[in-house]
Structure 1
Amino acid sequence: MFVFGLLTTILPAVIVIFAIAYIAKNKNKEDDETMIRHLYTYLVLFATLMMVIGGGISIFMVTADLVSPSGYYQSFSDYEMMRESEKVGGNTQISEEELRADYEQLVEDEKARIRENAKNQMIKSLGFIVIPLPIFIYFNRLRRKHIE
């Protein structure tokens, strides 16, 4: 993940530096404008493609959370000890069945919370695909026109 972040921040800067060096070397104004347009187009294509790929990866991860919600679930023995420490002051008796039912409800509530968060994250991740994809397609068609 670190390499991906480093690549997305350093690669555009390196491209810009090479473009400036190329412009300084070749002083033809018409070629410079064409090269800058191409550079801009490729930078937009790169940025939008990275956003679409990131959104796709995020959707894949969220789908895994929807299918199999994993999280930290307190063990029943830990839950039982916690409830025992709570009832020291109140001195109320809870049967083993009630305690087990409360624990199962706690686990089910946690799974439901994870699923709801996953649904929310999926909607957000779709934005990283739906918004930049038309821009990518437009600039890719623009690039093809300039090449032909």
Structure 2
Amino acid sequence: MVVLVILPFFIGLLLIAFIIIAAVKNKEGGEKMIRHLYTYLVLFATLMMVIGGGISIFMATADLVSPPAYYQSYSDFKMMKQAEKVPGENQESLSEDELKTQYDQLIEDEEQRQKNNAVNQIIKSLGFIVIPLPIFIYFNRLRKKIIET
């Protein structure tokens, strides 16, 4: 398990070391190559963030449109309410209609909570699009200027 966490780090270090060695060997274009590489790495990272944000927005929108179902059945709810009663205490028993009303309210509250969570997730996911997108556009223009010269 630890190897899977450390492996990408070492691969990244090896890649950076290889690039530095190639740049040192090719002294004429080394700085230019590092600039190109940096530009492409920034473009890749920001593009991945934008794509991830878009996927997250899609998933949160699906949860907003069709929230996950509530899994507790009415019979389970009823048994739980009956189990809450302490023997020996004089507690009023809820009628079947009152229990059904409480159960329906519980389902409605859960659905509303799921929708609120989906809206919150959409807002958070917009950050993964709004923040890196200008950086991506800037570096893409910079890349085009580098290619033209």
TM-score by length of 1: 0.85
Cα distance between partner residues in 2 of 1:10 and 1:46: 19
1:75 maps to 73
* Deviation of 1:71 (Å): 4.7
1:44 maps to 42
Give the fraction of aligned pairs with identical amino acids, expressed as a percent. 64
- Structure 1 residues 14 and 132, CA, compared in 2 at 3 Å: closer, same or farther? farther
* Deviation of 1:142 (Å): 0.6
Tell me if structure 1 keeps the 8 A contact 2:70–2:107: no
* Deviation of 1:21 (Å): 3.0
Tell me if structure 2 keeps the 8 A contact 1:12–1:43: no
1:130 maps to 130
SS at match of 2:84: helix
* Deviation of 1:98 (Å): 0.9
Check if 1:16 corresponds to 2:16: yes
Amino acid at match of 2:23: I
1:57 maps to 55
Cα distance between partner residues in 1 of 2:13 and 2:70: 41
Number of residue pairs matched by the alignment: 142
* Deviation of 1:123 (Å): 0.6
Cα distance between partner residues in 2 of 1:9 and 1:57: 26
Cα distance between partner residues in 2 of 1:22 and 1:33: 11
Tell me if structure 2 keeps the 8 A contact 1:76–1:103: yes
Tell me if structure 1 keeps the 8 A contact 2:42–2:139: yes
* Deviation of 1:59 (Å): 0.2
SS at match of 2:29: helix
Tell me if structure 2 keeps the 8 A contact 1:73–1:107: no
Cα distance between partner residues in 1 of 2:64 and 2:42: 33
Query: How do 1:99-114 residues align onto structure 2 when only pairs under 5 Å count?
Result: 99-114=99-114
Amino acid at match of 2:110: E
TM-score by length of 2: 0.85
- Structure 1 residues 12 and 135, CA, compared in 2 at 3 Å: closer, same or farther? farther
CA RMSD of aligned residues (A): 2.3
1:91 maps to 91
SS at match of 1:87: coil
- Structure 1 residues 94 and 121, CA, compared in 2 at 3 Å: closer, same or farther? same
